Amino acid sequence: MNLQNPKKFKILLDQAHEVAINVLRPISRKYDKAEHAYPKELNMLGSLLDGMNDGGEGMNAGAAVGKRGATDDSNKNGVNMSTALGIIEMCYGDTGLLLSMPRQGLGNSAIAAVANDEQLERFKGTWAAMAITEPGCGSDSAAIRTTATKDGDDYILNGEKIFVTSGERADSVVVWATLDKKLGRAAIKSFVVPKGTPGMTVERLEHKLGIKASDTAAISFVDCRVPATNLLGNAEIDVAKGFAGVMETFDNTRPLVAAMAVGCAKASLERIKEIFKDVLDENYATPYLQTSNIAAQIYRMEAEWEASRLLMLKAAWMADNKKPNSREASIAKAKAGRIGNEITLKCVELAASVGYNEDELLEKWARDSKILDIFEGTQQIQQLIIARRELGKSSSELK
């Protein structure tokens, strides 16, 4: 790996940085206080991203389109890398506003990961949320109880989903449901349910610690009928393959969540370095043990941040090059999620009253960063997945 950002993405990243500073930062506090209000300023940005994505070098929530195990040995830096690097810059502006971006929903990644060619074309351009979590099912996605019952050319969905990002605003929702509870995780499939489908109801919007610009919905499904053609990928239940089909979605999205944490932490780190610039050595010439306590803490945070960034880049690079990256995606997400939250909280602490009041965005970045260590699989779940991969254990063997 060449650890420098690919030169071909320079224009994209420069534009994303300018958007972060000149568009997202100025409205960041406004939509933090106006929870659930839709940021209309994002409509123009959404259209801009659509145009860039059509050119193949933009930020696309549906990254990693393509099959794993390809034999092409050439090195690629594609949509996964450009998306991850772009997300860092956008979250340097505001994480909640990035999550509110039209047509960049997590459901788009699910479509990209498991949809067939006809579905990829049919759902192109949709803004898709993703509905996995249930009241009795959080990090253990295999415990899903929402059912999908075949009825002629349709499936009938019944169940309840919570913490659906963009659940009210999105054009459609990708719903995870089981075809047969007795068959366990192998029977879990994902369905695209268009907004307005009878039987699908947004019950409420959640009030949250952070990312308040993003609407987070609870949605019920009561005899909700969707066409069988909206089941993503293969409708057959393959007990041997198990949960692998729908879980491929996370191999796409976990590096992107890691990128969100890296971007949010970057904002805090840069601000705390500005505040304490008089005690820092910009050339890093002073030995670590001879610096002040504050400088030492900042240098350590920088080192942890850089490690998180490089792990995230590796997972994204592997996806672009069609290499199985489940282990690396979880490593990146676990490291960046934890370190991102540690950095933003430490920066609030070091900045004292400046960090704690609303005159600065430091306290907001600390609140926003917490979710990045939770959604798409908690810290504990990521460590469990990594342990299974390292030890060669199945989910039933290592719980």
- Does residue 164 surpass a pLDDT of 80? yes
Instruction: Determine the pLDDT at residue 58.
Output: 63
Per-residue pLDDT, averaged over 51-75, amounts to: 59
Instruction: Determine the pLDDT at residue 61.
Output: 61
Label residue 379 by pLDDT band (50, 70, 90). very high
Output the average pLDDT for the chain: 91
Mind giving me the DSSP string for 108-159?
A: HHHHHHH--HHHHHHTTT--EEEE--BTTBSS-GGG---EEEEETTEEEEEE
Label residue 325 by pLDDT band (50, 70, 90). very high
Instruction: Report the candidate in 150, 137, 217, 135 with the shortest Cα–Cα distance to residue 189.
Output: 150
Instruction: Determine the pLDDT at residue 313.
Output: 95
Label residue 47 by pLDDT band (50, 70, 90). confident
Q: Which fold, 244-391? A: Butyryl-CoA Dehydrogenase, subunit A; domain 3 (1.20.140)
- Does residue 214 surpass a pLDDT of 70? yes
Q: Is 286 exposed, middle or buried (0-12, 13-18, 19+ CB in 10 A)?
A: middle
Question: What count of other Cβ atoms lies within 10 Å of the Cβ of residue 365?
Answer: 30
Per-residue pLDDT, averaged over 229-253, amounts to: 77
- Does residue 56 surpass a pLDDT of 90? no
Q: Which residues lie below 8 Å from residue 222, measured CB to CB, with a gap of 6+?
A: 158, 199, 201
- 127-230: CATH class: mainly beta
Q: What whole-number percentage of the chain has pLDDT above 70?
A: 92
Q: What whole-number percentage of the chain has pLDDT above 90?
A: 73
Domain coordinates in residue numbering, the chain: 7-119, 127-230, 244-391
* CA 341/CA 257 separation, integer angstroms: 13
Question: What count of other Cβ atoms lies within 10 Å of the Cβ of residue 370?
Answer: 17
Instruction: Determine the pLDDT at residue 1.
Output: 60
Rounded to two decimals, the pTM is 0.93
What are the pLDDT digits (tens) for 79-107?
Answer: 889 999 999 999 999 999 999 998 888 88
| Angle of CA points 354, 357, 359, to nearest 5° | 80
Residues annotated as part of the active site: 376
Q: Spell out the alpha helix ranges (H) of the chain.
A: 10-19, 25-33, 42-54, 79-93, 95-99, 106-114, 117-122, 244-275, 293-320, 326-351, 353-356, 362-370, 379-391
What are the pLDDT digits (tens) for 287-311?
Answer: 989 999 999 999 999 999 999 999 9
- Does residue 65 surpass a pLDDT of 60? no
Whose tokens are 């592997």? That residue is 318
Where is pLDDT greater, at 183 or 343? 343
Where is pLDDT greater, at 186 or 397? 397
- Does residue 70 surpass a pLDDT of 50? no
Instruction: Determine the pLDDT at residue 66.
Output: 47
* CA 129/CA 106 separation, integer angstroms: 6
Cβ-contact 364, 29 below 8 angstroms: yes
CA distances in angstroms from 285 to 198, 291, 340, 392, listed in the order given: 65, 10, 26, 44
Distance between first and last Cα of the chain = 34
Instruction: Report the candidate in 298, 256, 307 with the shortest Cα–Cα distance to residue 276.
Output: 298
**The domain 7-119 is classified under which CATH number: 1.10.10, 3.30.1340, 2.40.30, 1.10.540?**
1.10.540
Label residue 67 by pLDDT band (50, 70, 90). very low
